[in-house]
Amino acid sequence: MILDPNELGEGEICVKGDIVMLGYYNNPEATDAAFIDGWFRTGDIGTLEDGFLAISGRMKNIIILSNGKNIYPEELELHISNVAGVKEVLVYGQKGVITAEIFPDQEYLAEQGIENAQDYLQHSIDAINETLPRHKKIVMLKVRGTPFLRTSSNKIVRSQVQEPTE
């Protein structure tokens, strides 16, 4: 089920069935917040069309622009992660613009004779932007000198975006 779909049919993905947990152990408040009418609220945003589920991103990661448009950073991160020389990427909203922060693969850049990571990556971002609608364009690029902090499940910690050191 898609909860509260917008005009594009996107909403929170909710699931129900034998494979879904029954609730949080000894935490009825968290259980109540995680379920609606027996449906588990996944926290993912997506669409359901012709029996196919498409996941757009996570509710907690959405960038809401001043014009009300929703941007799913995971979509942009996927484009950027396909650029040779990108080791890690995080996309977020900062000062009203879409920002991409990249930790480059220094070994790859050296092998290719690329001396200026900022220029190389900006050129790649410009090429990606040509394929995107105007409201999804990446406006700011930050190049990091250190890897991102990660969780125990090896996901980048989004809430601890650090200033680049390069």
H or E, element range at 18: none
Point out the residues of the chain with pLDDT beneath 70: 160-166
Domains in the chain, start-ordered, CATH in brackets? Answer: 2-60 (2.30.38.10), 63-160 (3.30.300.30)
Residue 135 near residue 64, CB atoms below 8 Å: no
**The pLDDT value given to residue 161:** 63
Q: Is the dihedral of CA 72, 76, 77, 82 positive or negative?
A: positive
90 token code pair: 């995080």
**The pLDDT value given to residue 162:** 46
Would you tell me how many other CB atoms lie within 10 Å of the CB of residue 91? 23
Strand partners, 49: 52
